Structure 1
Amino acid sequence: MHAIIILESTMKAEAISPVILLNPTDNVGVARKAIAKGTDMTTDGGMVTARADVPSGHKIALRAVAPGEPVLKYGQVIGVATVAIAPGDHVHLHNLAMQESHVTHHFAQDARTTPLLPEDQRRSFQGYVRPDGQVGTRNFIGIVTSVNCSATVARAIADHFNRGGGLDGYANVDGVVALTHGTGCAINMRSEGYLYLQRVLAGYARNPNFAGILFIGLGCETNQIDPIVAKFGLEEGPHLRTMTIQNLGGTRKTVEIACDIIREMLPQANAVQRSAQPLAGLKVALQCGGSDGYSGISANPALGHAADLIVQHGGTAVLSETPEIYGAEHLLTRRAATPEVAQKLMDRIAWWREYTQRNGAELNNNPSHGNKLGGLTTILEKSLGAVAKGGSMPLEAVYEYAEIIDKTGFVFMDTPGYDPVAVTGQVAGGCNVIVFTTGRGSVSGFKPAPCIKVATNSQMYEHMSDDMDINCGDIVQGTDTIEAAGKRIFEKILAVASGEHTLSEDYGFGDNEFVPWQIGAVT
């Protein structure tokens, strides 16, 4: 049974207990709040006395676990005991270790037709229709740099408009975004990294949150603009222009000419108006970062419920971060629409095993320091919580990094677990809204896509209230439900897609989180 379903029923039964039992088969529970040593607690397994202080969000043993025996959470294995664990022990890095994932994978076993609502019952949002039929949630002008050497010029052009009054009189334009990065030259043109960079740049040029795009290169770089335009079927015209600094005679002339070009784009961009659009035009990126022990209990399953609603209303929900589904991918292969979709997911897992091995790393490099402080011990544990963002709909497709997302419904994109790189791939694929759950606190923005921040616990939500848009912490306390919180997230997505600002947008965040995935040698 899926962990989320178990969680919903168990949470209600355990609402008054200081320990959350997520599945009847689990031998650990999660501390609803900090538990002091010596505290007596009644659980489904009987009375347990805390043998040590257990921080909030951390695990406490409910039964004895012998060395080498599996530790179960969500009804799934999250690691093995390294020493004897007694009931009431704090279970974390000192007595729980990662083990290789050996879960059984069933392909398309739970495949079913996505239960879309009748068209007359589906919700809509107010979006910007683009000439290619895509729908934007924001109205930016983008400056795409082919190489790091054109980054300074691109930022100078963007600053002229965003800070120098260049947008005065264009209230319907959200801003000018300089998409700068640290690569573009000294890179193998036959490498995965080069392909990914080209996909990202072309994908951003096509993202519907841009009303116009200006490509700027230096001129002599490996990553030439013209081949990108030709390879990905981009068409130069009023909405897409290209230039190189060397051809134009240097930085000053390039800035002047580029500003003139953007001034030509602005009147038409400003004239575009929002109109009611079906959710088929909405692609929502599902993300989590700075996770804690509550992520898989509150915000992630709530976002999963919201993702189900998006899909039922005809939209697309995009899960990513392949290293953070490792050990939980069997929950997705069961839901694959076809065996071929399941196999593609397994192929990407296999690629990651080889990739980490050849780089002297391992998939359990994650959880991060902050994740561990929040109560997460192994990547298996984190993955089981992270995959809850994907809800329960059939998995319709698996995409490689930055590929264009051309199917509606619930889909997966192969990305690293590093949030800026992951979101960059999703936005390149066409995502026009980001929902980002966090237990430790995140302050990122991801222009041109608005980013909704969802807190997993109330303490962090209150402490970082200037940055958090939604609180799911009451689920942990038993005073809110996953369904109710998921409905709030769904309504927030529609409001933001229709123009309501997120807190990160109010602060202007999002200029520094464009991070294409760099793979391969720099020579």
Structure 2
Amino acid sequence: MDQPVDQPVIRIHPADDVVIARRQLMSGTALPGEGITVSGLIPPGHKVAVRAIAAGAPVRRYNQIIGIAKQPIAPGQHVHTHNLEFSSFERDYAVGQNAQATDYVMPPATFDGIVRADGRVATRNYIGVLTSVNCSATVARAIADHFRRDLHPEALAPYPNIDGVVALTHGGGCATASDGEPLQVLRRTLGGYARHANFAAILVVGLGCETNQIAGLLEQEGLAAGTQLHTFNIQDTGGTRKTVAHGIELVQWLLEGANRVTRQPVPASHIMVGLQCGGSDGYSGISANPALGAAVDLLVRHGGTAILSETPEIYGGEHLLTRRAVSQAVADKLLARLRWWERYCERNDAEMDNNPSSGNKAGGLTTILEKSLGAIAKSGTTNLIDVVEYAQTVKAKGLVFMDTPGYDPVSATGQVAGGANLICFTTGRGSAYGCSPAPSLKLSTNSALWTRQEDDIDVNCGTIIDGTESIAEVGRRIFEQMLVTASGRRTKSEEHGYGQNEFVPWQLGATM
């Protein structure tokens, strides 16, 4: 990344077989320092071969294998789906080889947080309306819509310290086994949201006859109805109209108490950030992801926590994480989740290389190996402290891995259920996303996206590609954005009202 700005390509590692186009390259373009000439059209963010590669030979980027050549590739040719394919290979897990002591910053940075009565620290102050089943979704939305600032600005005008009333609905809750893992995972997810510090109070609305009985949800999650947690069913309350009215009345009663909060300086150790990337491109692993990784390293040094997820999108690069694991047990937990995914794909006639998406490929990514290596860069260089299952409460400080699908809404929902009070989301193609009740910072991988879609992007990391900032400099900027966002400054996605529709619990198993 220390090449001159006017260099048409980026070389990541001296041993790489490919370089990355900074801009669209025409056939005949000479590549200074590489001693080759481009053959054919190379889109921005895509790969150019810098040496002859035989058919069946591995191809390296980041000095790591990203696939094998399907046919002979000549220097200067475009390397993509037409001549590069996924192939499994043996990986050296070298558990703990790169683990190192953390150099903590004392005293740590601070942000202005909301300290709850029980000591938990919030970055936002919402009232939430959860549902036990899809059948109560319409009622939950009607309750929350009564307090929407864009529809009824007068409803929350007297309560300036409340960020909003949100309905988080889902498509499950019935037609599943009453004692199976799918219901347990849904309840764990709902329980995590019910306990989330960013909610001043919660309503849980049910139908009454569903499999996911509210009483069972409370029992599994160790929750109890009280001043800040109210539950009721449509069938018991007397139907839709009466239930909506009851919910509105309850929220109205809760608003005054929820509004009585103040922000105060608290250590950055109270920040737990979920790491996401969506709509990735060929620049993701060069700019936004490593810059976010640099910010994660800073956050961990200040005592905070980061959650890396999307298990299918670390596949093939997991050896980079096991080398940073603090113990064999932590590494074994990570590898066990990957083996589970292999069996899961086999049962469903799928393959791990079904990922990347068409948009990822248009942006320059070819195989899941290449995508995974770039995605792991979000985690920085700090130690891997723990591995947890989907939506489990994260208790460790430092870098934690949570097993989730790669689909962004499902993955981030699990992270927030686990306790994330901030999301950092990198994108190269321009994802639109929010995640109530946790604010979501969007980071662009390239300046063209920033220029085109600034309305949705909070931080431009394309300056790394442009050569005007280093990864460390942008990482510092992201860390500072974490602090001001946790202190209450609204993100672009919050301004647009994203966050309710993006609540998507992971649906496991058969729907009966």
What do residues 90-115 of structure 1 show as CA deviations (whole Å, max 9, x unaligned)? Answer: 00011001111421111122223322
Which amino acid in 1 is paired with 2:445? T
Instruction: Find the counterpart in structure 2 of residue 138 from structure 1.
Output: 124
Instruction: Find the counterpart in structure 2 of residue 108 from structure 1.
Output: 96
Choose from 30, 36, 44 the match for 2:26.
36
Which amino acid in 2 is paired with 1:428? A
Instruction: Find the counterpart in structure 2 of residue 225 from structure 1.
Output: 214
- The question of 1:361 aligning with 2:347 is answered no
Q: In structure 2, what is the Cα distance between the partners aligned to 1:455 and 1:68? A: 35
SS of the residue corresponding to residue 441 of structure 1 reads coil
Choose from 307, 319, 332 the match for 2:308.
319
Choose from 40, 53, 73 the match for 1:65.
53
Task: Give how far 1:234 is off.
Answer: 1.4
Instruction: Find the counterpart in structure 2 of residue 4 from structure 1.
Output: none
- The question of 1:339 aligning with 2:325 is answered no
Q: Is contact 1:138–1:174 with CA below 8 Å preserved after alignment?
A: yes
What do residues 395-417 of structure 1 show as CA deviations (whole Å, max 9, x unaligned)? Answer: 11111000001111111110000
Instruction: Find the counterpart in structure 2 of residue 148 from structure 1.
Output: 134
Q: In structure 2, what is the Cα distance between the partners aligned to 1:461 and 1:251? A: 44
Q: In structure 2, what is the Cα distance between the partners aligned to 1:341 and 1:348? A: 11
Task: Give how far 1:257 is off.
Answer: 1.2
- The question of 1:287 aligning with 2:273 is answered no
Which amino acid in 1 is paired with 2:268? L
Choose from 504, 507, 515 the match for 2:496.
507
Task: Give how far 1:243 is off.
Answer: 0.6
Choose from 62, 77, 81 the match for 1:74.
62
- The question of 1:25 aligning with 2:15 is answered yes
Instruction: Find the counterpart in structure 1 of residue 460 from structure 2.
Output: 471
Task: Give how far 1:132 is off.
Answer: 2.9
Q: In structure 1, what is the Cα distance between the partners aligned to 2:428 and 2:179? A: 40
Q: Is contact 1:30–1:59 with CA below 8 Å preserved after alignment?
A: yes
Q: Is contact 1:14–1:21 with CA below 8 Å preserved after alignment?
A: no
SS of the residue corresponding to residue 161 of structure 1 reads coil
SS of the residue corresponding to residue 276 of structure 2 reads strand
Task: Give how far 1:264 is off.
Answer: 1.6
The runs of 5 or more residues in structure 1 that have no matched partner are 1-10
Instruction: Find the counterpart in structure 2 of residue 193 from structure 1.
Output: 182
Q: In structure 1, what is the Cα distance between the partners aligned to 2:39 and 2:293? A: 35
Instruction: Find the counterpart in structure 1 of residue 415 from structure 2.
Output: 426
Q: Is contact 1:290–1:439 with CA below 8 Å preserved after alignment?
A: yes
Q: Is contact 1:147–1:183 with CA below 8 Å preserved after alignment?
A: yes
Q: Is contact 1:292–1:371 with CA below 8 Å preserved after alignment?
A: yes
Task: Give how far 1:477 is off.
Answer: 2.2
Q: Is contact 1:14–1:20 with CA below 8 Å preserved after alignment?
A: no
Q: In structure 1, what is the Cα distance between the partners aligned to 2:177 and 2:4? A: 56
Alignment of 1:392-407 (within 5 A): 392-407=381-396
SS of the residue corresponding to residue 188 of structure 1 reads coil
Which amino acid in 2 is paired with 1:61? A
Q: Scaled by the length of structure 1, what TM-score is found?
A: 0.96
Task: Give how far 1:14 is off.
Answer: 5.0
What do residues 59-84 of structure 1 show as CA deviations (whole Å, max 9, x unaligned)? Answer: 00000000000010000000000010
Q: In structure 1, what is the Cα distance between the partners aligned to 2:43 and 2:147? A: 48
Q: In structure 2, what is the Cα distance between the partners aligned to 1:112 and 1:461? A: 36
Task: Give how far 1:256 is off.
Answer: 1.2
What do residues 349-374 of structure 1 show as CA deviations (whole Å, max 9, x unaligned)? Answer: 00000001100001111100100000
Task: Give how far 1:236 is off.
Answer: 1.6
Which amino acid in 2 is paired with 1:116? Y
Instruction: Find the counterpart in structure 2 of residue 490 from structure 1.
Output: 479
Q: In structure 2, what is the Cα distance between the partners aligned to 1:39 and 1:89? A: 11
Which amino acid in 2 is paired with 1:462? T
SS of the residue corresponding to residue 462 of structure 1 reads helix
Q: Percent identity?
A: 55
- The question of 1:297 aligning with 2:290 is answered no
Q: In structure 2, what is the Cα distance between the partners aligned to 1:519 and 1:83? A: 39
Tell which deviates more after alignment, 472-481 or 206-215.
472-481
Q: In structure 1, what is the Cα distance between the partners aligned to 2:338 and 2:119? A: 34
Q: In structure 1, what is the Cα distance between the partners aligned to 2:41 and 2:179? A: 54
The runs of 5 or more residues in structure 2 that have no matched partner are none
SS of the residue corresponding to residue 213 of structure 1 reads strand
SS of the residue corresponding to residue 80 of structure 1 reads strand
SS of the residue corresponding to residue 12 of structure 1 reads coil
Alignment of 1:379-390 (within 5 A): 379-390=368-379
Q: In structure 2, what is the Cα distance between the partners aligned to 1:193 and 1:379? A: 27
RMSD, aligned α-carbons: 1.0
What do residues 326-356 of structure 1 show as CA deviations (whole Å, max 9, x unaligned)? Answer: 0111000010111101110000000000001
SS of the residue corresponding to residue 223 of structure 1 reads coil
Alignment of 1:405-424 (within 5 A): 405-424=394-413
Q: In structure 2, what is the Cα distance between the partners aligned to 1:220 and 1:189? A: 12
> Structure 1 segments of 4 or more deviating over 6 A?
none
